Copies of this chain bind each other. A is one copy, B any other.
C-alpha cells in the first residue's frame, strides 16, 4: 500500500521466489523440499523466504494458486468464444495440455496440492486454504465439464459418467507432467506435437468421431 515502494520490484522478487519454489517442489516433492533448498536455489537464505511468506505451506499454496490462475487465463477466453462445441473442446484441450508442459513446475504443485487435501494430513488452517484452492480447481474443471456435456448432448461425444470422463480427460492431458520434461534448447515443435497427441487421445477417449478430430 505504500506508494514509496516500487511495486514491480516487490512483485519480481516474489515471482523469483515462486519460480524457484515451484521448481524445487517439483524436483523433490513438497515434503522432501526444505525452505533452505528453495533459498539456496535462489542464492539466498531463509530470511528472504520468510520475509515474504509466513510458512512453507503458505509458499506452496501460493505456487498452487498461481498455477491455477495461469490455466484460467489461457482457457477461459477460449471457453467464452462462440465456437462450435467440437472446435472449442479441441482448442481447450490442446491449450490446457500446452499449459501443463509450459508451466510444468507450477502444475506439478497443483497436482500435489490436490493430493494434499485428499490425504488430509494438514492443520485446520492449511485445510481451509486447500479447500478454497480446490474450489478454484473445481471451477476450472467445470469449464471443461460444460463443454463435454454439451458435446454429448449434441451426439458428438459418448461416455457414461461425465465425472469419470472428465477425470480421464484430465489425466490424459496432464500426463506429460509425469513423463515429459523440457530440455534446454528444445524445439517448440516437439512440445506442440506432444500436446497434439495427448489432445487427440483424450478426444478419442471421449468418444469423438474420428472425422471430427483435426489438428488445431
Contacts and interface: CB of A to CB of B under 8 A. Distances in A.
Interface of A: 27-29, 31-32, 115, 119, 121, 159-161, 164-165, 167-168, 171-172, 174-175, 178-179, 193-194, 197-198, 201-202, 204-207, 210
Nearest to A169: B201
Nearest to A176: B167
Q: Which of A167, A171, A178 has the most CB of B within 10 A?
A: A171
Nearest to A198: B168
27 contacts: A27-B119, A27-B121, A28-B119, A29-B29, A29-B31, A29-B115, A29-B119, A31-B31, A31-B32, A115-B178, A160-B193, A164-B194, A164-B197, A165-B197, A165-B201, A167-B175, A168-B175, A168-B197, A168-B201, A171-B174, A172-B172, A172-B205, A201-B205, A204-B204, A204-B206, A204-B207, A205-B205
Nearest to A120: B27
A24 to B, nearest CB: 11
Stoichiometry, copies per complex: 2
Contacts of A193: 160
Nearest to A208: B204
A189 to B, nearest CB: 13
A175 B179 contact: no
A198 B169 CA distance: 10
Contacts of A159: 197, 201
Q: Which 10 residue pairs are nearest across A and B when measured between Cβ atoms?
A: A31-B31, A205-B205, A201-B205, A171-B175, A31-B32, A168-B201, A167-B179, A171-B171, A204-B205, A204-B204
A27 B118 CA distance: 9
A119 B201 CA distance: 27
